[in-house]
Amino acid sequence: MAKSVTKDMTSGSPMKLILQFCIPLFFGMLFQQFYSMMDTVIVGKFLGVNALAAVGSTGSINFMIIGFCMGVCNGFAIPVAQQFGAGDYHALRKYAANSVWLAIAFAGAMTAAVCVLCRQILMWMHTPGDISEGAYSYIFVIFLGIPATYLYNLLSGVIRSLGDSKSPLIFLALSSVLNIVLDMVFILAFSMGVAGAAWATVISQGISGAACLIYMRKRFDILKITREEWRLDVKCIAVLCNMGIPMGLQYSITAIGSVILQTAVNTLGSAAVASIAAASKIGMFFCCPFEAMGSTMATYAGQNVGAGKLGRVSAGVKATSILGLIYSLAACAVLAGFGKTIALLFVDAGELDILQNTGVYLSISSAFFFPLALVNIVRFTIQGLGFSRFAILAGVCEMAARGLVGLAFVPVFGYAAACFASPVAWICADIFLIPAYLYVMKKLHKMLKKDEEYEGAALAAGE
Q: Residue 1 — very low, low, confident or very high, per pLDDT cuts 50/70/90?
A: very low
In the prediction, which pLDDT does 453 show? 60
CA 118, 122, 124, 130: dihedral to nearest 10 degrees?
A: -150
Phi-psi category of 126—alpha, beta or left, where left has phi over 0 and alpha has psi -120 to 50?
Answer: left
Using one digit for the tens of pLDDT, what is the confidence trace for 345-384?
877 787 888 889 999 999 999 999 999 999 999 999 998 8
Highest mean pLDDT among 149-163, 175-189, 381-395, 429-443: 429-443
Arithmetic mean of pLDDT over the chain: 86
CA distance linking residue 288 with residue 29, whole number of Å: 6
pLDDT at 461 over 80: no
The predicted-structure confidence for 239-293, as pLDDT tens digits, reads as follows 999 888 888 887 777 777 777 887 888 888 878 888 887 888 888 889 889 988 9
10-22 per-residue burial string, b: 16 or more CB within 10 A, e: under 16: beeebeebbebbb
Torsion of CA 420, 422, 423, 426, to 10 degrees: 160
Q: Where are the domains of the chain?
A: 14-455
Q: Which residue has the higher pLDDT, 137 or 62?
A: 137
Q: pTM for this one? A: 0.70
Q: Provide the pLDDT confidence category of residue 462 given band limits of 50, 70 and 90.
A: low
Backbone angle region of 191, left / alpha / beta, with phi > 0 → left and psi within -120 to 50 → alpha: left
> What whole-number distance in Å separates Cα of residue 453 and Cα of residue 463?
15
Predicted pLDDT at 2: 40
For 42-95, the pLDDT digits (tens) are 887 788 888 878 887 787 788 888 889 988 998 898 899 888 888 889 999 999
| Structure confidence at residue 145 as a pLDDT band (50, 70, 90) | very high
- Name the residue with higher pLDDT: 107 or 2: 107
With a CB cutoff of 8 Å and minimum separation 6, the contacts of 428 are 397, 398, 400, 401
